[in-house]
Each structure stands twice: as structure tokens, then as C-alpha cells.
Amino acid sequence: MKDDVSDLLGQAVRLHQQGRLEEAQALYRCVLEVDPRRFDALHLLGVIERQRGHPARAVDLIEEALRLEPQQARAHCNLGAALQDLGRVDAALASYEAALRLDSGYALAWDNRGNTLRRLGRLHEALDSYERALGINPGMAEAWCHRAIVLHDLGRHADAAASAEQALATRPAYADAFVALGHALQALDHHAAGIEAYDRALALAPHPETWCARGTALKKSGDLAGALYDYDQALAVRPDYALAAHYRANTLRALGQRDAAVEAYRRALALGANAHEIRFALAALGEGDQPAAAPADYVKSLFDQYAGRFDRHLVDVLGYRTPALLDALLRPHLAAAPVQAALDLGCGTGLCAPFLRPLARHVTGVDLSQRMLDKALALGLYDDLVCGDIVDWLAERAACCDLAVAADVLVYIGDLAPLFARVRHALRAGGLFALSCEALDDADAGRGYAILPSNRFAHALDYVTRTARAAGFDVIGTERAVLRKDHGRDVAGFLILLS
């Protein structure tokens, strides 16, 4: 009887290896009818349940198997994969680590552990885990691909591209690696090469996420019609794909198709896309109540994506000159000696840092986008950099600085009263606050501020100065200026100095 069960189990394993899952599953069950405590049958039946899309059943079976033989590293690893499918990431991580305690040379467990750490946001630990997998098996294409994904998440886009290419050198027909390569190339502004990588991925596996990513690359390269086509393709594959519906609406708005954009935003909202961002976009198109500020997640996401090309695009393409204009406005009002401390509010990549550094002994930059701050850090001009919402961060700062600057920040804030109150609280007596804002058209000036179709706020000068005085500031100076260009047209704004 024992030999018969072993033969039956061997047949089941061979069928399993051939991908004949239903037949293998039936034989594993036959084994268990004869020997309900057969570890291999329980374990591999659990593996099949996961393969067939039933991770909860897989967990039950593999846990039962491990109660019989708890020293089986492969079973702990497979349990981790099923737990991860269920979204139980902490339990999955514990299972992978149990597997690695039993077998530290188990490359697949290191790779899977990296995937779980990445889902938990522990990116540097995930990178280490992938590199441990590759130290054991340098030809492991999955680990090279996953390493590329985490390097991209860390903002190391050139390294991500190289890692994706290594995955493809090992496995030339690897759709996920082409997608990872496309993401890295897109972040490096190599849009044509990124689109080619997405094309290669789509030829292998036409996933809606890849169509969506290709659409984003086309939109960034200026091909709005092509981007719209790709978002439509993504939605044809997955009609309930909320992100693609949202991006499609953004593209229709960029094409000037207002009514179609409004309808598309409403569809995206119904599908469950980010409600705050969509209501903000609808308000910018004149649909719905005007918000007091841009959603923080929207601003963070915008600048996380923009970080790699921010300086080049802003200065070379948009002719951005606000830092220099604020510097000229400030200098006549500062003593020859540097002030003790300055705040660069919404500092971004640090375009204001070169003029602030000589003006203050200690310079702190605050921004919502960590990727922008990573660029600012590389300048070596800040004493401190803080990732957070500037209004929230200022709430706990009293009389901490002598100078505050907000360059191109008010375009994401409509109601200025909370910000001005917090800055006033943070400044020492005699401190200065220099800021810029886009100018609201004279016809709309009575509204104080308004959200524009660009998703940026514009302000009336009278509103800004009234709000500043109400917060306890004196208005030292105001100037009208061209802050930048948009599609070749001058963008008018105001420079304002408060004390």
C-alpha cells in the first residue's frame, strides 16, 4: 500500500509539472484519502489551489502540511506567497523569514521576501533582499526585474534601467522586465525608448497597466492623441480601470475637450478613482465648488513624477525666474550680515537655495515630495530638509526663523489665511516673508482667488495683502512680474514682501 501511494504521488507530481493541474489535484486527493497525513500531498495540493486562484484554501492546506513537517523551507515560502495574495503582508514576511532561517541559500525566498518588503514600503531592505537572491543565483531574471522596480521606486532610474536590461539578457521574452525598463526610461525622459519597451511588453502580454503606462509616456512626450488611444485600449481590456479613466480625462482636458473631460472625470469618479483629485479637476473646469487648496496627494504625486526633469523643464522650457525676482525684492531690506535662520517653504529641488544660502546661517527646506527633496539634498545647500505639508509643519514652529520664502507655492493654495497665520507665528520679530503668486484676471479679482483650468490657483493682489494684514503682517513691497511662460505665453504674477 505504501508503494502504491508513493507511485500515485509521483504521477501527481509529474502531472503538476506538466501544468495539468486538475488531473494532478485529483491524484493528490486520492493520496490523501489513503494517507491524510502525507506532507507532500497536502503541500502540493495547496500550491495548486493558489495556482488556480484560491489562496485561502492554499493557506489552509499548506499550514496543515507544516503542522506535520515544520522544517520544510519550500512550504514556508509557498505559504508566504499565498498569504501575500490575500494581502496579509506581515504574515507573508514572517513565512519567508521562516523559510530563510531553515535555508539561507533559498534564492526564491529572498526574492519573495523582497517583494513583500517593497509592498510594506521598506525599499532599502527590499533591495538588499533582491541582491541576496542574486548573490545566490546571478541568473535569476525575476530578481533582476524586481530589483529594477525597487530601484525605480527609490529614484535610481538609470540603475533601474540597467537592472531591467540584465533581466532581459537572462530572459529575452520577459514582459514584466520590459515594463520595468519602460518605467525607468520614462522617468529619465527617454520617452521614445520607453515607448519601445512598452511595445515589446504589449507584444508579449497586453496588460491594461502597460497600455496605461504607455499612454502616460506619450502624454509626457506631447502626443496627446496617442495617449488618449492608449488609455482607451487599457479601458477596453479592463472597463473598470479607474486610473486609466482618470488619466483619460486628464488627456481630454489637455486636448481642450472640456465637455468630454467633464464626462470622463465623472466616469472615473464612479469607478473609484481618487475623489479629491477629480473633484479638484472638475472645480478647475467650473464644475462644483471651488476648493480651498489642491489635495496634498495630488501635489505630492505631481512632483514625485516631475522631480527628474523639474529644473530643466521649469528653467529651460518655462523660463522660470521667480527665485531671482524674489532675491532682488528681498536684498534691499536685509542687513549686511546673514540672518540666523531661513525657511524655504515648498522648496522643491532647491531652486531658491543658491540665493538663500548667503542670506542665512541655517536654511531649512520643506516640501511634500520626497523625490524633490532628494534632488535638493544633492545640492548641499540646506542644513535641514523636511518632507511634509508646510502648513501642518509650521503649526509646531514658533519664532523659529527670520526669513521665509514661498516661491511658486501659492499656486497650490487658494485660501491663504491658514498659511499666513502659521508663517506669522514662525517668524521672529522683524522677520520677512517673500512670496509669489499668479495674478487673477482683473475681471475675477473680486473673488480673491480662483482655481484655473491649469489646476493652479491665481490670486488678486488686494486679497493677498488684506489676508496678510489680517494675519499681523505689514506689506513692505509688491511688484507685478512675468513669473514664467506657459505654452509660449507670459504668466503674470505678483511678488510680495511682508514683515
pLDDT in tens, 85-97: 999 999 999 999 9
The larger pLDDT score, comparing residue 443 to residue 42, is at 42
Say if residue 290's pLDDT is above 70: yes
The stretch 208-215 carries a mean pLDDT of 97
Distance CA 103, CA 495 (A): 64
Say if residue 99's pLDDT is above 60: yes
Q: What counts of helices (H) and strands (E) characterise the chain?
A: 25, 9
The stretch 293-297 carries a mean pLDDT of 83
Q: How many CA atoms lie within 13 A of 172 on its CB side?
A: 0
The stretch 471-481 carries a mean pLDDT of 94
Q: What grid cell was written down for 455? A: 489646476
Give the model's confidence band at 220: pLDDT under 50 very low, under 70 low, under 90 confident, else very high. confident
SS3 469: helix
Handedness of CA 128, 109, 154, 370 (dihedral sign): negative
Q: Which secondary-structure segment (H or E) carries 491?
A: strand 489-498
Distance CA 157, CA 122 (A): 18
Would you say the CATH fold of 301-498 matches that of 206-273? no
Cβ within 8 Å of residue 302, ≥6 positions away:
none
Q: Is 276 left (phi over 0), alpha (psi -120 to 50) or beta?
A: alpha
Handedness of CA 87, 91, 95, 101 (dihedral sign): positive
SS3 423: helix
Owner of C-alpha cell 509557498:
78
Say if residue 317's pLDDT is above 50: no
The stretch 405-431 carries a mean pLDDT of 94
The stretch 44-55 carries a mean pLDDT of 94
pLDDT recorded at residue 443:
65
State pLDDT tens for residues 25-48. 999 898 888 889 999 999 999 999
Give the model's confidence band at 6: pLDDT under 50 very low, under 70 low, under 90 confident, else very high. confident
pLDDT recorded at residue 308:
57
Say if residue 200's pLDDT is above 90: yes
Give the pairing type, strands 489-498 and 427-439: antiparallel
Domain 206-273 bears CATH identifier 3.30.2290.10: no
Handedness of CA 141, 142, 146, 149 (dihedral sign): positive
- Residue 108: is it exposed, middle or buried by C-beta count within 10 angstroms (0-12/13-18/19+)? buried
Distance CA 468, CA 220 (A): 38
Average pLDDT, rounded, for the chain: 91
State pLDDT tens for residues 169-188. 999 999 999 999 999 999 88
Say if residue 408's pLDDT is above 70: yes
Say if residue 333's pLDDT is above 70: yes
The stretch 209-233 carries a mean pLDDT of 95
Q: What are the distances in angstroms from CA 89 to CA 84, 119, 223, 250?
A: 5, 8, 39, 33
pTM above 0.75, yes or no: yes
The larger pLDDT score, comparing residue 446 to residue 396, is at 396
State pLDDT tens for residues 190-199. 989 999 999 9
Say if residue 322's pLDDT is above 50: yes
Give the model's confidence band at 309: pLDDT under 50 very low, under 70 low, under 90 confident, else very high. low
CATH code linked to domain 301-498: 3.40.50.150
The stretch 221-241 carries a mean pLDDT of 96
pLDDT recorded at residue 2:
56
Q: Which secondary-structure segment (H or E) carries 343?
A: strand 339-345
Cβ within 8 Å of residue 80, ≥6 positions away:
91, 92, 93, 94, 95, 96, 99, 109, 112, 113, 116
pLDDT recorded at residue 386:
95
% the chain with pLDDT above 70: 95
The stretch 447-469 carries a mean pLDDT of 91
Domain residue ranges of the chain, discontinuous segments joined by +: 206-273, 301-498
Give the pairing type, strands 489-498 and 475-486: antiparallel
